[in-house]
């Protein structure tokens, strides 16, 4: 998985609790992305980062925040988890310079909000 | 919004047969990528085709691109059980760093 790890790999939590997912890379890639994958929706971009402390919103950013204080780590936080945020979350990295660049994905985190 | 839409949503074939998946997109693109996802795993890049290319090969994979119809196809020849996976097309949205994925085709290759 191209030097990308995600933690935790599985998490069950209750509605209203805060949750933080971590993505860690050893590739020194500039760009990092958080996606969620749901049946019938494919992959949807939540937030992405184009450098330390530089982040931007994706298609489904409501209810999520991110932080990137180091090149290698990108955190996704659900401030107050809801059942609609039950999903599989994937982190991806890219050394985007042109639109021919590919993305490399982590193994995913399965989050269940009860 | 989804840039690419794959068709069919699901495909079941026998080992040795060819599998064809289609992708349609909405806006002009510079290139189109295909990814594979094995069950429970992250996506893996398969192949990229540029807008000035009509066809590209990589092993048993053949990708075509028709920019006039805004569509692409992925052909897997002589399929194997190990090809069982979901396949996604993806494009970058107009000059941005955001890669937009379709909903995917789930391929099942029966031994």
pLDDT score recorded for residue B4: 66
**What pLDDT score does B2 carry?**
44
Tens place of pLDDT per residue across chain A (114 aa): 569 999 999 999 999 999 999 999 999 999 999 999 998 888 999 999 999 999 999 999 999 999 999 999 999 999 999 999 999 999 999 987 766 788 999 999 999 999
Inter-chain residue contact A100 with B50, CB threshold 8 Å:
yes
Backbone dihedral angles phi then psi of residue B109, each to the nearest 5 degrees = -110, 115
Note the pLDDT of residue B1.
38
Instruction: Give B15 to chain A, closest Cα distance, Å.
Output: 26
With CB atoms and an 8 Å threshold, state whether A96 touches B50.
no
Check pLDDT > 70 for residue B3. no
| 8 Å CB contact of B45 and A102 | yes
Residue in A47, A93, A95 with CA at minimum distance from that of residue A67: A47
**What are the pLDDT digits (tens) for B44-59?**
999 999 989 999 999 9
Residue contacts between A and B (CB atoms, under 8 Å): 56
Residues 6+ apart with CB under 8 A from A94: A29, A30, A31, A32, A33, A101, A102, A103, A104, B97, B99
pLDDT, mean of residues B56-65: 97
Share of chain B above pLDDT 90, in %: 72
Which among B33, B41, B104 has the least Cβ separation from residue A42?
B104
Which of A35, A42, A50 faces B103 most closely, judged by CB atoms?
Answer: A42
Cβ(A111)–Cβ(A19) under 8 Å? yes
Question: B7-17 pLDDT, tens per residue?
Answer: 889 999 999 99
Chain A residue numbers with beta carbons less than 8 Å from the beta carbon of B2 are 42
């Amino acid at each position: 998985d191209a030097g990308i790890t995600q933690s935790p790999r599985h998490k069950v939590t209750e509605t209203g609790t805060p949750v933080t997912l971590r993505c860690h890379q050893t590739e020194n890639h500039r760009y990092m992305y958080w996606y969620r994958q749901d049946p019938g929706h494919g992959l949807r971009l939540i937030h992405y980062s184009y450098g330390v402390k530089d982040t931007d919103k994706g298609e489904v950013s409501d209810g999520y925040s991110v932080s990137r204080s180091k090149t290698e780590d990108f955190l996704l936080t659900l401030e107050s988890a809801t059942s609609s945020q039950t999903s599989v979350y994937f982190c991806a990295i890219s050394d985007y310079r042109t639109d021919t660049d590919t993305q490399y994905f982590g193994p995913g985190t399965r989050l269940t909000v009860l | 919004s989804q840039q690419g839409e794959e068709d069919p949503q699901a495909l079941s074939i026998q080992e040795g047969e060819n599998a064809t998946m289609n992708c349609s997109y909405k806006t002009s693109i510079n290139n189109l990528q295909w990814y594979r996802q094995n069950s429970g795993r992250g996506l893996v890049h398969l192949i990229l085709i540029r807008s000035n290319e009509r066809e590209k090969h990589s092993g048993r994979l053949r990708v075509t691109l028709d920019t006039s119809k805004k569509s692409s196809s992925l052909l897997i020849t002589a399929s194997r059980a190990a090809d069982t996976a979901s396949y996604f097309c993806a494009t970058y949205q107009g000059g941005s760093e955001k890669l937009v994925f379709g909903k995917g085709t789930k391929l099942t290759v029966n031994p």
